[in-house]
Amino acid sequence: RPEKSKSVPKDNSVTLEDVRFGYHDKEILHGVIMELKAGTVNAIVGPSGSGKSTIAKLIASLWDVDSGSIKIGGVDVKELAFADFNRKIAYVAQDNYLFNETVRENIRQGNPDATDEQIIEVTKKSGCYEFIMQLENGFDTVVGGAGGHLSGGERQRISIARAMLKDAPIVILDEATAYTDPENEAILQNSIAKLVAGKTLIVIAHRLSTIKDSDQIFVVNDGNVTAHGTHEELLMSCPLYKEMW
């Protein structure tokens, strides 16, 4: 990445143009084309191993494409300085990493300048506040290596609070509710709705019930986007989607 961005994105849209990517010698994505408009909800679904999470990680710049391009607001991500890119995107994965720090400092990773009051406010919005206050030392509880002292669902909720505090205009949720029981999933879905209001949202989902109201759903199979449209359109036109539903 350059030290200074070469252009300024015109909006918070995300475009993938003929993206190819592989691990070692094996190509995983074969010319993926996607257009995600600014401020819309976009879901990516498909069988296990189809390349969904690979697409999410490429958009988050955890890796670079082998060929083709990923653009934010019309600007290739490779032309954006890392700091500028980083302000644009919040990425919540299913296996979120927490540091062996206090709950408060883990949430503050989203915005190092945040006050304690802002951190408390964001935990109330994301449904974390009650369980944090029940921990041994509340916000000063050390979470253990990789968050080992907390349950998977608790780690998820803290990582969503961290993403809310970051307040980035593009949010990627990669199976963000994978480890939650139904009772906590309702809390998580509610907090996610607050996190993403008015933002460009990209959701990787196993449970199609959670994404059926998306503006656009992309069906990925074997490294290709095989169909896209609304839930109703795909039920009519895409046998794979209908079978998954």
Per residue in 170-224, pLDDT tens? 999 887 666 666 666 677 777 777 777 789 999 998 888 888 889 999 999 999 9
Mapping DSSP to helix (H, G, I), strand (E, B) and coil, where does residue 22 land? strand
Other Cβ atoms within 10 Å of 41 Cβ, number = 18
Quick check: 241 and 219 in contact, CB under 8 A?
yes
Mapping DSSP to helix (H, G, I), strand (E, B) and coil, where does residue 119 land? helix
Residue type, 216: Q
Task: Give the pLDDT band of residue 128 (cuts 50, 70, 90).
Answer: confident
What CATH superfamily is the domain 14-244?
P-loop containing nucleotide triphosphate hydrolases (3.40.50.300)
Phi, psi for residue 166 in degrees, rounded to 5: -65, -35
Nearest-angstrom CA–CA distance, 110 and 164: 8
In tens, the pLDDT along 28-67 reads 999 999 999 999 999 999 999 999 999 999 999 999 999 9
Quick check: 37 and 74 in contact, CB under 8 A?
no
Residue keyed to tokens 């993938």: 16
Please compute Rg for the chain using Cα positions. 18
**What pTM value is reported for the model?**
0.89
Q: How far is CA 212 from the centre of its chain?
A: 17
Tokens of 229: 């449209």
Q: For the chain, give percent helix, strand, coil, nearest 5.
A: 40, 25, 35
- Alpha-carbon distances of 74 from 12, 69, 70, rounded to whole Å: 9, 10, 9
In tens, the pLDDT along 72-98 reads 999 999 999 999 999 999 998 877 788
CA dihedral 37, 90, 153, 141 (to 10 degrees): -160
- Alpha-carbon distances of 79 from 2, 12, 15, 20, 31, rounded to whole Å: 6, 15, 14, 18, 21
| Predicted local confidence at residue 108, as pLDDT | 96
- Domain range annotation of the chain: 14-244
Query: What's the start-to-end Cα distance of the chain, in Å?
Result: 40
| Predicted local confidence at residue 179, as pLDDT | 62
